[in-house]
Amino acid sequence: MKRLHLAIYLLSLSCFSALSQNHPLDPLSWQEYWTVLEVLRAEGHLTDGTGFSMINLREPDKQAVWKWKAGEPFERGAYATVHEGKTAYHAEINLKEKKLDIWRELEDAQPTWLGQEFGSMVDTIKKHPEVIAAMKKRGYDDLQFIDLFVSPPGYYGTEEQKGRRIGHAGFIDVQGVRNSWSRGIEGLVVVVDLREQKILRVVDEGVVPLPEENIDYDPASIGKTREVPGPIHISQPMGKGFSLDGHIVEWQKWRFHIKADHRVGMIISTVTYGEGEDRRPILYKGNLSEIFVPYMDPAFDWYHRNFLDAGEYTQGGLCKPLLKGLDAPDYAHYMNALVCGDDGRPVPVPQIIAIFERESGDPSWRHYSFDMEPESRKKRDLVVRSAAVLGNYDYVFDWIFQQDGSIRVQLGATGIAEAKPAIQKDANDPNRKDDDLYGRFVDPHIVAVNHDHYFSYRIDLDVDGSTNNLVMDRLRQRMLPEEHPRRSVWVRDPMFPKREGDVKVNIDLHKPALWRVLSTSRKNHVGYPTSYQLMPGKTTNTLLSADDFPRRRAGFINHHLWATPYDVSEQFAAGDYPTLSLPDQGLPSWVKANRSIENTDIVLWYTMAMHHMVRAEDWPVMPVLWHSFEIRPFDFFNGNPAMDLPRN
What is the distance between the alpha carbons of residues 386 and 262, in angstroms, rounded to a whole number? 12
Contact assessment for residue 420 and residue 449, using Cβ atoms and an 8 Å cutoff:
yes
Q: Which of 393, 395, 532, 606 is catalytic?
A: 393
3-state secondary structure string across 25-68 = CCCCCHHHHHHHHHHHHHCCCCCCCCEEEEEEECCCCHHHHHHC
What is the distance between the alpha carbons of residues 301 and 203, in angstroms, rounded to a whole number? 9
Q: Which of 297, 309, 462, 464 is catalytic?
A: 309
189 forms beta bridges with 203
Written as one letter, the residue type at 477 is Q
Question: Residue 479: is it exposed, middle or buried by C-beta count within 10 angstroms (0-12/13-18/19+)?
Answer: exposed
Q: Residue 94: which region, alpha, beta or left (left: phi > 0; alpha: psi -120 to 50)?
A: beta
Q: How far is CA 281 from CA 382, 530, 566, in A?
A: 18, 11, 16
What is the distance between the alpha carbons of residues 611 and 619, in angstroms, rounded to a whole number? 17
Taking CB atoms within 8 Å and a gap of at least 24, the contacts of 58-61 are 58/92, 58/93, 59/568, 59/571, 60/24, 60/25, 61/568
What is the distance between the alpha carbons of residues 351 and 610, in angstroms, rounded to a whole number? 29
Closest CA relative to residue 422, chosen from 85, 643, 645, 182: 182
Strands (E) across 205-332 are located at: 242-245, 248-251, 254-261, 265-275, 278-294, 306-308
Closest CA relative to residue 473, chosen from 540, 520, 535: 535
Q: What is the DSSP letter of 264?
A: T
What is the distance between the alpha carbons of residues 53 and 111, in angstroms, rounded to a whole number? 7
Angle, in degrees to the nearest 10, between helices 2-17 and 30-42: 80
Establish how many alpha carbons lie within 13 A of residue 578's alpha carbon, considering only the half-sphere containing its beta carbon: 31
State yes or no: is 393 an active-site residue: yes
Q: How far is CA 314 from CA 294, 516, 568, in A?
A: 18, 33, 21
For the annotated catalytic residues, the residue numbers are: 309, 393
